[in-house]
Amino acid sequence: MEPVLSAPQPSTTPGVTPPTAAEGQFGDYDFIVVSNRLAVDRVVDEHGESSWRRSPGGLVTALAPVMAKADGAWVGWHGAPDETLEPFDEATMRLVPVPLSAEEVELYYEGFSNATLWPLYHDVIASPEFHRTWWDSYRKVNERFAAATATVAAEGATVWVQDYQLQLVPKMLRQARPDLKIGFFNHIPFPPLEIYAQLPWRRQVIEGLLGADLIGFQRPSDASNFLRCVRRFKGHTIKSQQVHVPAGDDGIPAYVSRAEAFPISIDTASITELAHRPDVIERSKEIRRELGDPQHILLGVDRLDYTKGIGHRLKAYGELLEDGAITVEDAALIQVASPSRERVEQYRLLREDIEGAVGRINGTHDTMKNTAIRYLHHSYPVEEMVALYLAADVMLVTALRDGMNLVAKEYVAARTGNTGMLVLSEFAGAADTLRQAILVNPHDIDGLKAAIVSAINMPKTEAMRRMRLMRRQVVQNDVERWSQAFLSALQSGSHDSGE
């Protein structure tokens, strides 16, 4: 049975860092995951009663079995500002909520994390903003996450810190609890030195990350970028991706921190199971009928984010219609653009641009029976997403910069009959392993147009050969293998990704 919400603590004020564990005292948990959000979502039933439901994301799916075996705890924000909750249990894990005020959500999360780090780490596709008040909030929130973790961790526990919102936590943890084994994984790209150098707090962030025994990245190039920045801004000795961190004034003795690539993946088994379900298969057929049963269905599935290259995709598709290379009678594009960071001005403007482009293309090319682009600004349950994957003959992933792009892997996993074709940006991490996709530079509109036409017209035997090889890669390297590879490398000091 799912636990009910714990009562808020009226005496605790969000913004005040909780105390760390007293010297010589330890918590009860041998494995701790630290992320910006907890592994659960709050749900409210028809009677207004609140409870928790485990989040459906791949990270939670991958780590839940580890939690069960290792007596685990998950540290993160529970999603409601200005509310403080006691730790509580959900199934096999302990949930440790970290409070955030509404101001901290604005400054630490929407500000420094998503208007400074996100654009900077995605090759400044949008201009990052640098504000000292944002940095101060980021540092204070990271301190609170580190303190909460130090309090619940058992002696010698393993701690795995997740993603760019918490880059300062590893060093803070090492200072507070040198007995811990600390890992960090960066789910987004790490930028080249020449771009990273713009960050005013570049040394502090590098120092924070180097607090980890193992720093994981999506691609080898990300790890190389990080090590170049370490060499340039810290001057530490680096040998075979190992950084020799000297003893410092903070009392931390000398140690070795490693930076390596661990490409993340998906819960392949669950996607494959859904792809075989009769109701999902029937829904995929219904989608085709709703579109007028065109000969070719193309699909884009993205968060509405400027890194995803949605505008480039629409421009290429619109020009193909203008050129007569495709017609609305024979082809249709479904574009799912799930809402994202709608309080941020850049994202509001992006939505206006995308919806304007869709309107112009449809206004020019639609007929009474056929629509050029079916634009869906919604989030959908995974069952509907798999039905869309089954309905689509061609998947378009045109990211301008992406750490991995799991949608590409989900599409491949869903194509259990080895049909369909993937057009994949070379700037997505998935391009490193899904090499049989049609790889494109999305900035090259003519090249992107040619790739779409090639995908539509590819001979069936060639398409099936490519998809078979891609499916083998995704099936053999699922998200559970990813987590096991990282944690094994963290414990042993060595790494074999199996890629």
Residues with a catalytic annotation lie at: 187, 402
Task: Quote the tokens at residue 59.
Answer: 């990270």
> Of 425, 441, 340, nearest to 118 (Cα)?
340
Please check whether residue 46 is in contact with residue 54, taking contact to mean a CB–CB distance below 8 angstroms: no
> Of 482, 497, 476, 405, nearest to 66 (Cα)?
482
- Integer CA distances (angstroms), 229 to 198, 202, 243, in order: 12, 9, 12
How far, in Å, CA of 161 to CA of 30, rounded? 14
> Of 461, 463, 441, 436, nearest to 451 (Cα)?
441
How far, in Å, CA of 337 to CA of 351, rounded? 9
Task: Quote the tokens at residue 37.
Answer: 């959000």
Task: Quote the tokens at residue 371.
Answer: 């629509």
Task: Quote the tokens at residue 355.
Answer: 């919806």
Please check whether residue 414 is in contact with residue 395, taking contact to mean a CB–CB distance below 8 angstroms: no
How far, in Å, CA of 115 to CA of 90, rounded? 33
Please check whether residue 257 is in contact with residue 242, taking contact to mean a CB–CB distance below 8 angstroms: yes
DSSP notation for 230-242: HHHHT--EEETTE
DSSP annotation of 91 reads T
| Alpha-carbon dihedral 496, 497, 498, 499, rounded to 10 degrees | -140
The per-type count for the chain, helices as H runs and strands as E runs, is 17, 18
| Element spanning 394, H or E | strand 394-397
How far, in Å, CA of 122 to CA of 18, rounded? 33
Site of tokens 């526990």: 157
How far, in Å, CA of 348 to CA of 337, rounded? 13
DSSP annotation of 106 reads I
**How big is the chain by its Cα radius of gyration, in Å?**
23
Task: Quote the tokens at residue 425.
Answer: 């940006």
How far, in Å, CA of 306 to CA of 122, rounded? 10
Task: Quote the tokens at residue 368.
Answer: 């009474």
Task: Quote the tokens at residue 112.
Answer: 């420094």
